[in-house]
């Protein structure tokens, strides 16, 4: 406290110990002192409370701000800093560093409080939240409008409720994008072309099933391990959105063939640990939520807008891009039907049905 305690009794009131004969004379200056003391006390309280509330919160991401994903988290941090006047600082930790590179542990780490917040992928959180496998069902959501119909409707609410029931507060959606297939061997136009190809997939059992159903030889590994595995040729292929292929220069590690098959979209979710959420004021919560929504909308629009120029850039670097005809597309859909049958019960039939309806009606 900056206030001289001698000017106050222990209730913060100024002491009235002036001799009688001086009282008239000093009354004015005494009340001035009172006012100054009160102002100083007020300033001290304000400083103390600002210090107590100025808080840094960690935000985990898999990809850095060279990618739209990392930029989404940085945007969120920027907006929060601005709107809370520095009361809350979000510090972004990219490259899954808070979970030693193991992105499938991000959700558990956030739930337990090792991480305060994250902008994370539905794929990476699906081992802990089975409902999130909804988005990984192959060839289920045909286009961006279908994705928006799912995330923005009843199915999206059900997904958020599933996350919340597991101790994490979801706030908003972002987007990593539609995932495309690349490999170093040759063009892929039909499931038979995948026969025996070693494909790096994310650490989610559903992906294992999808690529097994297609006749490939899938191997699960983190993004951190994927790049060296592609470089050494330990794997023949991988699947990721165009933004990841482009920024990470996947073409430079021999991935010269790219099939655009839009087999799944990978939404991102902005979320907060429950205890951290409960410790915040109503106003801070409101700011965190509204800024997450804004940062998410901004990032989704940017990711989608950049897709076509990224594709041109990728082609200009000599990557052979294959677009599937309707018939070719259908062969992939048919070959992965068993994945739907196996996974729909695990995801929850009601949720799958709500999503199906949203997709049909969009
Ligand atoms: O690991 C991947 O492929 C990545 C970066 O896209 C995700 O985190 C899902």
Judge whether 8 lies within some domain. no
Overall domain count for the chain: 1
Residue with token string 């000599």: 318
Q: What percent of the chain has pLDDT over 90?
A: 85
Q: Is the CB of 284 inside a 6 Å radius of any atom of ligand 1? A: no
- Cα distance between residue 40 and residue 337, in whole Å: 71
Distance 222 CA to ligand 1 centre (A): 8
Here the tokens at position 14 are 């100024």
Judge whether 222 lies within some domain. yes
CA dihedral 89, 95, 100, 101 (to 10 degrees): 150
Judge whether 269 lies within some domain. yes
Instruction: Supply the pLDDT for residue 23.
Output: 45
Judge whether 13 lies within some domain. no
- Which atom of ligand 1 is nearest the CA belonging to 63? 5
Judge whether 156 lies within some domain. yes
CA dihedral 35, 38, 39, 45 (to 10 degrees): 180
Q: What CATH number does the domain containing 228 carry?
A: 3.40.190.170
Q: Is the CB of 202 inside a 6 Å radius of any atom of ligand 1? A: yes
Instruction: Supply the pLDDT for residue 234.
Output: 97
Q: Is the CB of 250 inside a 6 Å radius of any atom of ligand 1? A: no
Instruction: Supply the pLDDT for residue 7.
Output: 38
Distance 64 CA to ligand 1 centre (A): 12
Q: Is the CB of 223 inside a 6 Å radius of any atom of ligand 1? A: yes
CA dihedral 59, 62, 67, 69 (to 10 degrees): -60
Distance 4 CA to ligand 1 centre (A): 58
Quick one: 68 exposed, middle or buried, by C-beta within 10 A (0-12, 13-18, 19+)? buried
Is there a contact between 113 and 86 (Cβ–Cβ < 8 Å)?
A: no
Q: Is the CB of 343 inside a 6 Å radius of any atom of ligand 1? A: no
Per-residue pLDDT tens for 332-345? 999 999 999 999 99
Q: What is the CA radius of gyration of the chain?
A: 27
Closest residue by Cα to atom 6, ligand 1, is 240
Q: Is the CB of 118 inside a 6 Å radius of any atom of ligand 1? A: no
DSSP strand pairing (168-183 vs 257-260): antiparallel
Is there a contact between 246 and 310 (Cβ–Cβ < 8 Å)?
A: yes
Helix (H) or strand (E) holding 320: strand 320-323
Q: Is the CB of 244 inside a 6 Å radius of any atom of ligand 1? A: yes
Instruction: Supply the pLDDT for residue 102.
Output: 97
Q: Is the CB of 122 inside a 6 Å radius of any atom of ligand 1? A: no
* HEC secondary structure over 215-256: CCEEEECCHHHHHHHHHHCCCCEEEEEHHHHHHCCHHHHCCC
The residues near 357 (Cβ < 8 Å, ≥ 6 apart) are none
Instruction: Supply the pLDDT for residue 342.
Output: 98
- Cα distance between residue 237 and residue 218, in whole Å: 9
With the most atoms of ligand 1 within 8 angstroms of its CB, the residue from 61, 66, 119, 121 to mutate is: 121
Give the residue numbers spanning the domain of 318. Answer: 54-361
- Cα distance between residue 60 and residue 151, in whole Å: 22
Longest dimension (CA), the chain: 106
- Please, what is the end-to-end C-alpha distance for the chain in angstroms? 61
The residues near 94 (Cβ < 8 Å, ≥ 6 apart) are 61, 62, 63, 64, 65, 70, 73
Judge whether 39 lies within some domain. no
Judge whether 315 lies within some domain. yes
Consecutive 10-residue averages of pLDDT for the chain (362 residues): 36 38 48 58 51 83 98 98 97 98 98 98 98 98 98 98 98 98 98 98 95 98 96 97 98 97 98 98 98 98 98 98 98 98 98 98 94
Closest residue by Cα to atom 1, ligand 1, is 223
With the most atoms of ligand 1 within 8 angstroms of its CB, the residue from 63, 126, 229, 240 to mutate is: 240
Judge whether 227 lies within some domain. yes
With the most atoms of ligand 1 within 8 angstroms of its CB, the residue from 61, 176, 203, 267 to mutate is: 176
């Amino acid at each position: 406290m900056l206030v001289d305690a001698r000017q106050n009794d222990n209730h913060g009131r100024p002491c009235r110990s002036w001799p009688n004969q001086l009282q008239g004379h000093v009354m004015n200056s005494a009340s001035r002192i009172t006012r100054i003391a009160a102002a100083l006390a007020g300033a001290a309280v304000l400083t103390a409370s600002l210090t107590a509330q100025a808080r840094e919160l960690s935000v985990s991401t898999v990809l850095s701000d060279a990618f739209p994903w990392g930029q989404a988290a940085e945007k969120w941090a920027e907006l929060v800093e601005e709107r809370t006047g520095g009361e809350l600082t979000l510090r972004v930790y990219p490259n899954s560093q808070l979970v030693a590179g193991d992105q499938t542990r991000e959700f558990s780490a956030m739930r337990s409080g090792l991480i305060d917040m994250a902008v994370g992928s539905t794929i990476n959180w699906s081992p802990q939240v089975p409902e999130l496998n909804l988005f990984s069902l192959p060839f289920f959501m045909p286009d961006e409008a279908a994705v928006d119909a799912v995330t923005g409707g009843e199915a999206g609410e059900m997904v958020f409720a599933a996350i919340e029931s597991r101790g994490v507060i979801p706030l908003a959606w972002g987007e990593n994008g539609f995932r495309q297939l690349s490999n170093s061997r040759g063009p892929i136009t039909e499931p038979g072309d995948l026969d025996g190809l070693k494909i790096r997939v994310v650490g989610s059992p559903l992906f294992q099933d999808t690529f097994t159903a297609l006749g490939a030889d899938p191997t699960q590994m983190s993004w951190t391990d994927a790049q060296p595995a592609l470089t050494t040729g330990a794997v023949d292929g991988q699947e990721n959105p165009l933004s990841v292929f482009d920024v990470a220069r996947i073409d430079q590690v021999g991935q010269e063939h790219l099939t655009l098959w839009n087999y799944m979209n990978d939404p991102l979710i902005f979320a907060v640990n429950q205890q951290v959420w409960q410790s915040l004021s109503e106003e801070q919560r409101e700011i965190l939520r509204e800024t997450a929504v804004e940062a998410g909308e901004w990032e989704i629009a940017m990711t989608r807008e950049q897709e076509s120029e990224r594709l041109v850039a990728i082609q200009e670097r000599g990557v052979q891009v294959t677009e599937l005809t309707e018939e070719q597309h259908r062969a992939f859909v048919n070959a992965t039907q068993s994945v739907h049958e196996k996974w729909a019960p695990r995801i929850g039939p009601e949720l799958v049905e709500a999503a199906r309806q949203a997709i049909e009606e969009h």
